[in-house]
Structure 1
Amino acid sequence: MAHEQLETYVVESPEQAMALLNPLRAEILSRLTEPASAAEVARGINEIPQRVNYHLKALEKVGLVRKVGSRQVRNLVEVLYLAIARTYVLSEALNWASDTVQQMKDQGALSHLVNTAERIKRDALALMERSDQEEQIPSATLDASIRLASAEQRSAFVEEYVQLVNQLVKKYQTQAQGQETYQVILAVYPKEGGTES
């Protein structure tokens, strides 16, 4: 079933900004690019379903996720949620001092980076266990470094990077049932000790 989802959403309300800057809520949002239940999200991030459900309700209250359906699982009816967008940008019009907004963006992004790295580690370990049982696990990684001359150039690079990957995802996305889903994660951050005079 198809559901409308924005590519990018500009966050202008303080309530939404604070919800996004909560690491667990940001992690839950990142798992909702496709409709999923609290139980599915909880399994994916190694959390208790009740805790995920609590945070889903908070995200729904501020308008960052919405209910898109339900399904019967044994004796339970599971509610399916979908994030309103794939990516989020904090607006400069949040009425916070610009240095506060920048600090919150930086901290939120770094916190999300840590959670994403933990998620990749958990997923990789689980896949290695499957590989130990002689199951073939296709995967790929890309590791590159780039020197960017300014903050403006960095922003332009990230924006174009995300656009190109989204184009690739749309090009190869299949609607066929029963096909394996692959996780695509992008990260851009300063290389430690990477400055040269």
Structure 2
Amino acid sequence: MTARPSALLDTLDAAHLALAPIRRRILAALVEPASAAGLAEQLDMPRQKIGYHLRALEDAGLVQLAGERKKRGFTERLFVAAERYVLDPALLQAAPPDPDAIEAQDRHAVDHLVSTASAMVRDVARMREAAAAQGARLLTLTVEADVAFATPADFDAFSNDVAEAVAVLARKYAAPSGRRYRLTAAAHPAVARPAPTRN
């Protein structure tokens, strides 16, 4: 079994476990399956201490059993961690957002974009874990493009064009039954990227 590509930290307990320095070292080492004894040797730590932290990480679902193997007359359990962890943005909010207030916001409001992006991170991460547990594929779509606007009026016109295009697609793909999908179109200022180096 290979490492899970990502895992969601959606409780404060899980976040605290993953952020503790010793456990962060263990999680980083478990991108490839390893046993408590192997980790103890790799991290130069007592096996008993590694075992204690491994049990806590396993109970929290931050590592999973990757298999077992016979070694010197006993059975070793091999564990694997996710390659990366996604922190549920809702954990950092003082209170959950009011859905009615969010719907009433202007579509250009930064808070609306942040709230929508946070919900997407949480929901997709949870669905991905559920699909992986069932051995199923999670169908998603990501479309990205860079655009540039000479004036604020151009941005407003582009926003209207996108809204109209999405509305047309939503009407076209509105089957009375079947799996529902959430389409989110968002735009924000592009972050400057370093130019690629040439050999």
TM-score by length of 1: 0.46
TM-score by length of 2: 0.45
Higher radius of gyration, 1 or 2: 2
